[in-house]
Amino acid sequence: MLDGKRLLITGVLTRQSIAFEVARQAQQAGAEVVLTGFGRARRLTERAAAQLPCAADVLELDVNRAEDLAALGEALAQRWSALDGVLHAIAFAPPDALGGGFMTTPPESAMSAFQTSAFSLKALVGSLQPSLAAAPDGASVVGLDFDASVAWPVYDWMGVAKAALEGVARYIARDLGPLGVRVNLISAGPLETAAASGIPGFDRLARSWQSGAPLGWDPTDGGPVAAAACFLLSDMARGISGEILHVDGGFHAIGAPSP
């Protein structure tokens, strides 16, 4: 499905990362993959990269540093004649922007969540725009989302940042569509990752999916989300842009759990 595709995958920290499973499935489907990491955590990314079916290179990227974004664009332009796809799996909110203190979160923490979790999609895609536009069959940008159409317990300003991410994705889809670049998000059910462990009350939220999703939901299995990402990165999704694909066991369609 992805034979010959050249993909950049962000957000791999450990084997439990959703992005790791996307990279693994993409390689199995024939893609060539490069990962990103930064700072001290880059060593964890490199360790995970070595455990993929084909060991992948890791490039430095702090998405909030203009220098890193420029260097990443140059490095990929030198490596490949074009970039066929990108996975944006980047999000962060300070501790005081999560956990139920929505009304007392300081503005700088809310803005930090927005910059890293939403504006970063525009920053990343902008730095890679020439390589994406050069893809002969069109390029695909896929971002990881969490349903922002409603308010969730404890999710607070990260929920607001995800709503912003959805808006940013639509505007990028508008502006880069004429260049053959499509932009879509996956609204995933809760999964047990390193990022999720930093959300107070995550276990309670995940249990809601297990009881309310018509198809059921396994918070330890990122496979269904990764499979959907590979579909959106493939030519089979070449007519889809500006979409939010729910991969949550059907939870989003149900008003209340069945008795």
- Which residues does the annotation mark as catalytic? 155, 162
128 Cβ contact partners less than 8 Å away, ≥ 6 residues apart: 8, 72, 73, 76, 83, 86
Of the candidates 142, 203, 127, 131, the residue with the CA atom closest to the CA atom of residue 173: 142
DSSP code for 144:
E
Q: Are 139 and 69 in contact (CB under 8 A)?
A: no
222 Cβ contact partners less than 8 Å away, ≥ 6 residues apart: 16, 17, 18, 20, 21, 191, 193
Question: Reading across the β-sheet that carries 139-145, which strands appear in turn?
Answer: 58-60, 32-37, 6-9, 85-88, 139-145, 181-188, 244-247
130 Cβ contact partners less than 8 Å away, ≥ 6 residues apart: 73, 77
Query: Which uninterrupted H or E stretch holds 83?
Result: none
- Give the three-class secondary structure for 28: helix
Q: Are 17 and 24 in contact (CB under 8 A)?
A: no
Query: Which uninterrupted H or E stretch holds 60?
Result: strand 58-60
